[in-house]
Amino acid sequence: MSNCRFASAFKTLEHWLKYQLHAQEHFTLWYAAEDSQFVRFNQGKVRQAYPVLQIELTVRLILGERHASARINLSGEFEQDTAQLGQTLTQLRGILDVLPADPYLLLNTELWTSERQVPGRVPELQQVIDSICGLSQGLDMVGIYAAGTLYRGFANSWGARGWHECANALFDWSLFDASGEAVKSTYGSADWDAQVLSDLFEKAREQLHHLSTPRISLKPGQYRAYLAPAALDEVLSMLSYDAFSAKAFANRQSALQQLHLGQQQLSPLVNLREQPSSGFEPGFGHDGAPRQDVDLIRAGQLVGQLVNSRSQAEYSLQANGADQQEMPHTLVMAPGELATADVLRELGTGLYISNLWYLNYSDVGSARLTGMTRFATFWVENGQIIAPIETMRFDDSVYDMLGTHLLALTREQALCIDSGTYERRGLDSHVLPGALLEHLTLTL
Amino acid sequence: MMSRAQSSLRRFMQTCAHWPDFVSLRLVEQQSRTLAVTRNVIEPPSLRNECGVMVCVHVDGQQAFAATSDITLPGLQQALERAQQTAKALRGNGLVQHPIANNQGIRAHYRSPELDLPLPDTADWLALLMETSRQVPNDPRLVHWSARLRVVQEQQLYLDNQGAEILRSQQQLFPEIGVNAFDGQHSQRRTYQVAQQGSANIVTHTGFLDEARRVADQALQLLLAPNTPQGQRDVLLMPDQMILQIHESIGHPLELDRILGDERNYAGTSFVTPDMFGHYRYGSDLLNVSFDPNVTGELVSYSHDDEGLHAEKQLLIRQGILQRPMGGALSQARSALPGVANSRACNWNRAPIDRMANLNIEPGDQSMSQLIGSIEHGILMATNRSWSIDDARNKFQFGCEWGQLIKNGELGAVVKNPNYRGISSQFWRKLSAVGDASTNAIMGTPNCGKGEPNQAVTVGHASPACVFSHLDVFGGQA
Ligand SMILES: [Zn+2]
């Protein structure tokens, strides 16, 4: 087992808690900690910078078929934390006293252990600030640097244990042209390399030249279009909310309901899999279930869904390691045949879309999505980039975009690391190709 | 009553009292519980007891922070040192020289309304939610429903070494009901939500049980309804859609940090530029928009923002003309524009930035029947379900749960999947009638996302029903 202070503090608390249990009581513990450094930039300078030391513990108390959970912040100091955990236990017991049995409680009492440590080299803050500000000289750069080690732990009173430690640094930034156009880039690594960052800056700086041409304004209508992996990632991220969830299918709330009912299908080119075995997430979930790889879409047909233990009990399905939200965290979309180098030629005349933004459903029942173009979207004629376009809104069904209108997927896949930091730094990632569409409908 | 964490924060601040540099400490202690009954089955309750401190220091005009959940005295000392080291690491690479706030002598204690009234215990709440859930009739087409409640109690203590001491004791309640109807082919979802500060009266006085029956009935009506016809119509937006419209196409574009470019890599920019304040026509003469932290019960009423700036009501748009943006002390200094007290952080672990707080449309003089009566060819839309807007907050498309056609001043047939699209800079000029106080509702949203690192905050919105002329309206696929 890791001997870092977070791992040993977690183990000590787990041990302490075991001796607090009353007869028949059980617990599960989920531990999430980070010691992070955030630096936010604007105009190539530091706008705001701070470290965050944050320890969270979620304890679920189980007595027979009754259970309730509480998430608390910990200090890392034993006396303080056991006092707090003790109070929380009392609070949870008070709640269990008034609860009826939960008909959908399904406990995983298997004994397992899992440990993974991904060692990393995160640079010194001073070095990061100096090098990023140095590279940004003369450029209008805006972005966020987030780095440090992330810790995740699981333990239950039946003896299952998991520990996951992962150090990384992620820099997500845009370079802006005076026209307001921008190139977005991301560099994430467990082993920070200043030279790689410098090369990426250089590449973005070159792309910026394309953006100084005056924007073309397009009329609403249908256009042949290429979605780069980051743009396609937005579509999959939108679907990730609840389109693959067993609960959402059962509640008739999934956007892919018609695919589920067999009334629609996607292109045979589409193969999609939740593949935690290859991601950055721990190999175990919040309620102690080992995560599993799950095929979701095979050759355009829905073949799987994400099922947690509650859905297993409620809908008589087989659980497959999904967490409470039944959201995918490490989607992998199979590649196609189109060489990325040939994308412009195959696109011919149409839109090259680097990123999409702010997607939502315009008709959830028919999986119709709307959203905006953002960052480096170009008009292309005869395989040549002509100029950036004015921000446009699209509105199209997933059954068209990834169905009847999908012409090809690229042979190369890109790794899209989720730079999200709501409440805590995340570990989600997607691996996916780019997509060439016969047409995409622009509406405004 | 002072919590242990608050006493330890005070003790620690005493050790910083005579430091030459500015130091502030912001302690957040938040207790919340989420209770739910789904299809008449109680879901396992979940609690949160969050606690942590954000330290802020200024060293040679450079501001830096450090956040920690270690609130022991050594933990606070370590956070202070990390904040100082961070400030020093900026060495000439800081974007702005930070003005020192003048918080001398501020003493304040904001309390949510009816904070002294005791809250029901978990058993009573669950009984109410179960009774609410049981209001949903037994109809095989009603495939899923739930009644939920989140109660959040938060104490925030802000101290600085200029002597400011600002305590905020807030209690927020978020009751909601959702019902899904399905006819074997298509489904429709209808919801009801409240988000306010105050006591249990927020839930019990709103007729929660009646709302469950209404929502279930309307979900079934939508299942039978035709799609919203496509074309130009006058649109009557009810308050539970107006709040989203205000939020996305007035609130975000008027955030001063967006205008200053801080959010260009994530939340985006704004079509509003600094030169527009004081004369730009944002909307018709009927449009009056306020930043108002003093509305009793509204979700984000407070006395001071998270940097100690005193909060007061300001009109951001007066009779359609843009007056001032939403920017806290720092943004005001950076831009030389007036602002409001809106420097807010989502929690102890994030530093404050410009946010909406309570952002409202001031009521007009039309009753609901006058609003409907004034429309020849139109549609009423209620309850937001979909929102999307470009990164400059201009081209938008919004969808609602509930639509009802209006013909010759009369409310008519129910239609499903009502959507409309427009452009912010033109949209508000089409505002043709504003409802009076009887149409006004105090609402809010628990999840406004923005900032790097990301922060989701609560936002309050109050709005009357409003009419917009000649909008592009459309429905879903058959
Ligand atoms: Zn928002």
Task: Tell whether B70 and B169 lie within a shared domain.
Answer: yes
DSSP string, B31-42: EEEEEEEETTEE
Task: Tell whether B344 and B444 lie within a shared domain.
Answer: yes
Task: Tell whether B114 and B8 lie within a shared domain.
Answer: yes
In this prediction, residue A210 has a pLDDT band, given cuts at 50, 70 and 90, of confident
Domain count, chain A: 2
Task: Tell whether B26 and B100 lie within a shared domain.
Answer: yes
Task: Tell whether A326 and A206 lie within a shared domain.
Answer: no
A-chain CB neighbours of B68 within 8 Å are 52-54
Of A404, A406, A341, A393, whose CA–CA distance to A362 is shortest? A393
User: Residue A1: its pLDDT value, please?
Assistant: 58
- Average pLDDT of chain B? 96
The pair of three-digit structure tokens given for residue B281, joined into one six-digit string: 């026509």
Task: Tell whether A141 and A234 lie within a shared domain.
Answer: no
B-chain CB neighbours of A309 within 8 Å are none
Task: Tell whether A292 and A151 lie within a shared domain.
Answer: no
Task: Tell whether A189 and A302 lie within a shared domain.
Answer: no
Task: Tell whether A134 and A263 lie within a shared domain.
Answer: no
Please give the residue range of the domain that contains residue A127: 5-211
Mean pLDDT in residue range A3-22: 95
Mean pLDDT in residue range A203-227: 93
User: Residue B1: its pLDDT value, please?
Assistant: 66
> Does A396 map to a domain?
yes
Mean pLDDT in residue range A2-28: 95
For residue range B36-83, what is the model confidence (pLDDT) as tens digits?
A: 999 999 999 999 999 999 999 999 889 999 999 999 999 999 999 999
The pair of three-digit structure tokens given for residue A196, joined into one six-digit string: 């790689």
In this prediction, residue B452 has a pLDDT band, given cuts at 50, 70 and 90, of very high
Task: Tell whether B261 and B366 lie within a shared domain.
Answer: yes
Task: Tell whether B210 and B246 lie within a shared domain.
Answer: no
> 3-class SS at B430?
helix
Which of A211, A238, A263 is a domain's end point?
A211
User: Residue A276: its pLDDT value, please?
Assistant: 93
Residue A279 Cα distances to A128, A428, A436, B335, angstroms = 26, 7, 26, 43
Task: Tell whether A393 and A261 lie within a shared domain.
Answer: yes
Task: Tell whether A116 and A231 lie within a shared domain.
Answer: no
Please tell me the distance in Å from A75's CA to the nearest CA on chain B. Answer: 4
For residue range A129-166, what is the model confidence (pLDDT) as tens digits?
A: 999 999 999 999 999 999 999 999 999 999 999 999 99
> Does B222 map to a domain?
no
Mean pLDDT in residue range A346-365: 95
Nearest to A142 among B42, B265, B417 (CB): B265
Task: Tell whether A148 and A189 lie within a shared domain.
Answer: yes
Which of A173, A191, A211 is a domain's end point?
A211
User: Residue B478: its pLDDT value, please?
Assistant: 55
> Does A216 map to a domain?
no
In this prediction, residue A304 has a pLDDT band, given cuts at 50, 70 and 90, of very high
For residue range B135-163, what is the model confidence (pLDDT) as tens digits?
A: 999 999 999 999 999 999 999 999 999 99
Residues B67, A75: C-beta atoms closer than 8 Å: no
Task: Tell whether B307 and B169 lie within a shared domain.
Answer: no
Residues B397, A73: C-beta atoms closer than 8 Å: no
> Does B186 map to a domain?
no
Task: Tell whether A98 and A38 lie within a shared domain.
Answer: yes
The ipTM is: 0.96
Task: Tell whether B155 and B269 lie within a shared domain.
Answer: no
Task: Tell whether A231 and A334 lie within a shared domain.
Answer: yes
In this prediction, residue B17 has a pLDDT band, given cuts at 50, 70 and 90, of confident
Mean pLDDT in residue range B279-291: 98
> 3-class SS at B285?
coil
Please give the residue range of the domain that contains residue B465: 231-474
Nearest to A252 among B41, B182, B351 (CB): B182
Q: Is the pLDDT of residue A290 over 70?
A: yes
Positions of E strands within A292-402: 294-298, 301-302, 331-333, 350-363, 368-381, 384-388, 393-397
Query: CATH code at B158?
Result: 3.30.2290.10
Task: Tell whether A129 and A257 lie within a shared domain.
Answer: no
DSSP string, B72-93: SHHHHHHHHHHHHHHHHHTTT-
For residue range A359-369, what is the model confidence (pLDDT) as tens digits?
A: 999 999 999 99
Kindly give the distance from the C-alpha atom of residue A388 to the centroid of ligand 1, in angstroms, as a whole number.
Answer: 28
DSSP annotation of A22 reads: P
Task: Tell whether A204 and A233 lie within a shared domain.
Answer: no
Residues B49, A72: C-beta atoms closer than 8 Å: yes
Kindly give the distance from the C-alpha atom of residue B445 to the centroid of ligand 1, in angstroms, as a whole number.
Answer: 9
User: Residue B477: its pLDDT value, please?
Assistant: 77
- Average pLDDT of chain A? 95
Mean pLDDT in residue range A229-233: 97
Kindly give the distance from the C-alpha atom of residue B446 to the centroid of ligand 1, in angstroms, as a whole number.
Answer: 10
Task: Tell whether B373 and B454 lie within a shared domain.
Answer: yes
Query: CATH code at A190?
Result: 3.30.2290.10
pTM of the full structure: 0.96
Task: Tell whether B175 and B250 lie within a shared domain.
Answer: no
User: Residue A46: its pLDDT value, please?
Assistant: 98
At residue A348's C-alpha, the angle toward residues A346 and A349, to 5°, is: 145
Mean pLDDT in residue range A284-312: 95
Task: Tell whether B163 and B31 lie within a shared domain.
Answer: yes
Task: Tell whether B206 and B288 lie within a shared domain.
Answer: no
For residue range B170-180, what is the model confidence (pLDDT) as tens digits?
A: 999 999 999 99
Which of A188, A211, A234 is a domain's end point?
A211
> Does B340 map to a domain?
yes
DSSP string, A209-254: HHTTSPPBPPPSEEEEEEE-HHHHHHHHHHHHTTTTBHHHHHTT--
> Does B165 map to a domain?
yes
For residue range B365-406, what is the model confidence (pLDDT) as tens digits?
A: 999 999 999 999 999 999 999 999 999 999 999 999 999 999
In this prediction, residue A15 has a pLDDT band, given cuts at 50, 70 and 90, of very high
